[in-house]
Amino acid sequence: MTDPRTRALAALGEQTIELPSWAFGNSGTRFKVFGQPGVARDPFEKIEDAAQVHRYTGAAPRVSLHVPWDLVDDFGKLAAHAADLGVSIGAINSNLFQDDDYRLGSLTHPEKRVRDKAIAHHAQCVDVMRATGSTDLKLWLPDGTNYAGQDDLRARQDRLADSLQQVYALLDPGMRLLLEYKFYEPYFYAMDIPDWGTSLLHCLALGEQATVVLDTGHHAPGTNIEFIVMQLLRVGRLGAFDFNSRYYGDDDLIVGSADPFQLFRIMNEIVAADALRPDSGVNFMLDQCHNIEPKIPGQIRSVLNVQEATAKALLVDREALTAAQQSGDVLAAHGALTDAFATDVRPLLAELRESKGLDADPYAAYARSGHAERTARERVGGTQASWGA
């Protein structure tokens, strides 16, 4: 039997985290977007910046795209550009929230013409997947209602089920539909996919290629997120995470910054279910915006935070934990988790990076590289990420 550190190193060496393209463009709140010097101006530059995160962390080899934010003439060229830089295209995110036709909904809209338009947008996304080699179609449904009685809640679910079936039928074998939920916003009375239960019900009705996306910022305060992780893993329907941190709403802050213990508890369920394996079907993605902090270092920090939470989860003494649980020793069982959480795993991760030929401190290595200064000089007129503007 290998020792826990060696096993942890092996598992950490295989872990990958997917980066969102929109983290590399200017972003803000509805009050103000603060432009940053050197920010990526187009999808090609966003991928260049994502590749920097991978270069220094060695753990972020994929980039999610958002259509139409990342629309280009030739997606094959974009995928080749990514491959040249040592990364690949991850999930393709559809966009159902920025069209005047969608005021009353998209896939749930009372009018068939609008639903058909929203379905057709997914056909466009599937074409992007074919051109880029992506296997995950990620759908976040912004539909909902603001007032009781505004529309028939049940009829909206029926229309949604029908529309989703048509989207699902567009998938090739080997492609997946990742269905995200969110409890509020942009509508405030009833979202049409407000929770994991609703998302799961639709996924079960669709078939095996449909799985749930858990965005850590999309729950009511106080929700036990690791319980949801465990439950979705039990039924084999946890398709992906959108990692970020929140204090209040859908804050999209750096993952692990607000509540590192929560991130550890989530990763603990992942490790306990052996879902860290690269073939587990769980895609560990980030969904964050860096409104005031620099983008690339912000993403590097996020990757390090996920790695640290994972390392701690891997160091949980599972035998001691099970023994304490079985004997009803409440405090020893809880202590098995808190001991692991209290471990300083930074030396272990430094060792991992050095064994891969990386700098032990990716954050400092990027800062020294001169990339930020070079892009600030060379890239004039950064674009807005379109989100939260």
Range 195-198 contact pairs with CB under 8 angstroms and sequence separation of 24 or more? 195/219, 196/228, 196/231, 196/232, 198/157
Among Mn ion, ligand LRH, none, what binds residue 168 when CB lies within 5 to 8 Å by partner kind? Answer: none
Least separation in angstroms between residue 39's CB and ligand LRH is: 17
Binding residue count for Mn ion, defined by CB under 5 A: 4
Q: Which residue lies nearer to ligand LRH by CB, 102 or 140?
A: 140
Least separation in angstroms between residue 182's CB and Mn ion is: 6
**Amino acid in position 24:** F
Among ligand LRH, Mn ion, none, what binds residue 93 when CB lies within 5 to 8 Å by partner kind? Answer: ligand LRH
Least separation in angstroms between residue 364's CB and Mn ion is: 30
Least separation in angstroms between residue 217's CB and Mn ion is: 5
Q: Quick one: which segment of 10-18, 284-292, 312-320, 363-371 binds Mn ion (CB under 5 A)?
A: 284-292
Residue ranges binding ligand LRH (CB under 6 A)? 22, 93, 140, 180, 182, 215, 242, 250, 287, 387
Q: Which residue lies nearer to ligand LRH by CB, 9 or 193?
A: 193
Q: Is 287 in the site for Mn ion (CB under 5 A)?
A: yes
Q: Determine which residue in the list 49, 136, 250, 359 makes contact with Mn ion, applying CB under 5 A.
A: 250
> Is residue 305 a contact partner of residue 255, using CB atoms and an 8 Å limit?
yes
Alpha-carbon gap, residue 119 to 109, rounded angstroms: 11
Alpha-carbon gap, residue 291 to 26, rounded angstroms: 7
CA distances from 213 to 224, 243, 349, 351 (A): 16, 10, 27, 32
> Is residue 340 a contact partner of residue 312, using CB atoms and an 8 Å limit?
yes
Tell me phi and psi for residue 3, to 5 degrees.
-80, 160
Alpha-carbon gap, residue 197 to 166, rounded angstroms: 21
Helix, strand, or coil (residue 317): coil
Q: Which residue lies nearer to ligand LRH by CB, 250 or 269?
A: 250
Q: Which residue lies nearer to Mn ion by CB, 138 or 295?
A: 138
Residues 198-237 that bind Mn ion (CB under 5 A): 215
Q: Is 70 in the site for Mn ion (CB under 5 A)?
A: no
> What ranges in the chain are assigned the alpha helix state H?
4-14, 43-57, 75-84, 112-132, 153-168, 196-206, 225-234, 260-272, 295-314, 318-326, 330-342, 346-355, 362-369, 371-378
Least separation in angstroms between residue 337's CB and Mn ion is: 27
Q: Which residue lies nearer to ligand LRH by CB, 366 or 387?
A: 387
Q: Which residue is nearest to ligand LRH (CB)?
A: 140
Q: Which residue lies nearer to ligand LRH by CB, 45 or 250?
A: 250
283: exposed, middle or buried (Cβ count in 10 Å: 0-12, 13-18, 19+): buried
Q: Is 242 in the site for Mn ion (CB under 5 A)?
A: yes
Q: Which residues bind Mn ion (CB under 5 A)?
A: 215, 242, 250, 287
